[in-house]
Amino acid sequence: MLAIVVVNVIIIAVEAQMSSQRPGQMLAEASAGTKSAFQYCELTFLAIYCAEFGVKVASNYRDFWRNKYNRMDTLILVLCLVLQAASTYVPAFEQSDAWRVLLGLKSIRVFRTLTFMRSLQVVVEALINTLRNNVLDIAILLLLIMFIFGVLGHYLFGSGAKSQSDWGELGNAIRTLFIFVCADGWIPYQDRMTADGFGGSQAYTAVFIFLGNFIIANLFIGVICQNIDDATRADLDEQQAKKREARLIKRELFLRRQQSDITNLLAQQMGKGTETKFQELVKEMVGTLRHEDVVNVAHIHCNSTWLETYSITLTHRENTLYRLQQLQFGIANCLAEYVDQRLTSRVKK
């Protein structure tokens, strides 16, 4: 779908270029063959976009509208349909200025590439967060500095013959300072101040350009870079969280299938008609289970309380066997001493 959007943008660019080669003549007034070719392309792309919209909505209606990029694509599609309907059913509309505006707005289709490129979405979200959270503070700081230097420049340079148009009024002074902030085209303004004999104007200009351009402008760029970095990390964390969730869902399904297999195995053992001892069942399952496998705890042989009781019983049994063994050793030693004493007494006689 991204390739289709790119081809559509290329065709829009070709259409605009052909219109620019006819001064005072829009493409709507061009030859019938060229106009028909672009109209067929337009209808083809609109049909593809409408089909894509229908498939997305039908596949997942609720999640579709929750995605802001899907809502943006829908708005672009509606605008394109309105433009096509106006061109088809109101031919006189093509001669109006509103038609030219709508025709130029066709270029916003390039924003549909955001839907297919996650990296661009991260950059756009970072720019939106910058405009929402930081731009106002930086703009207020810049306006304060411009106001201070504007008033100062008005009183210092507003009386000059050549500089009066630049600094004679506070509004003109703010406009001049905005040019200084952009650091583009400020040299003629400085030349007029120098020609009027304001010797300290160079220091004034240097200080303001340093504050307005080197500090404030770079501060704005730094904020944007920081927000892009934060947005990239947040997107990476989100993608990792989705992967972990997918792995957990897959593992849960796998464990459920294992539990079902164990339940079926126990059911088969119980349906043989003869009682199956737990030890025999364990012997059959030796080598088939791993430490992370699950078992059906509904059965008594797999109940944790029963297993704990059985383990304690085995421990007591082992202790009893050990004590009996020590008792047997003691009896054997006593019998050995008794036999030794009898043999010693007979030898003495």
Q: What is the pLDDT of residues 35-54, one digit of tens each?
A: 677 777 878 878 888 888 88
The whole-number pLDDT of residue 335 equals 92
DSSP 5-59: HHHHHHHHHHHHHHHHTSTT--GGGS-HHHHHHHHHHHHHHHHHHHHHHHHHHHH
pLDDT of residue 19: 66
The pLDDT value given to residue 94 = 67
Question: Does 3.40.109.10 match the CATH number of domain 131-236?
Answer: no
For the chain, the domains span: 2-116, 131-236, 303-349
With beta carbons less than 8 A apart as the criterion, state whether 199 and 234 touch.
no
- Decide if 2-116 and 131-236 have a common fold: no
- What is the CA 64 to chain-centroid distance, rounded? 16
Domain 2-116 CATH class label: mainly alpha
**pLDDT (0 to 100) of residue 161:** 78
How many whole angstroms separate alpha carbon 22 and alpha carbon 342?
137
Kindly give the parts of the chain with pLDDT less than 50. 23-24, 26-28, 273-275
Kindly state the tokens that stand for 140: 């207020």
Write down the pLDDT at residue 24: 47
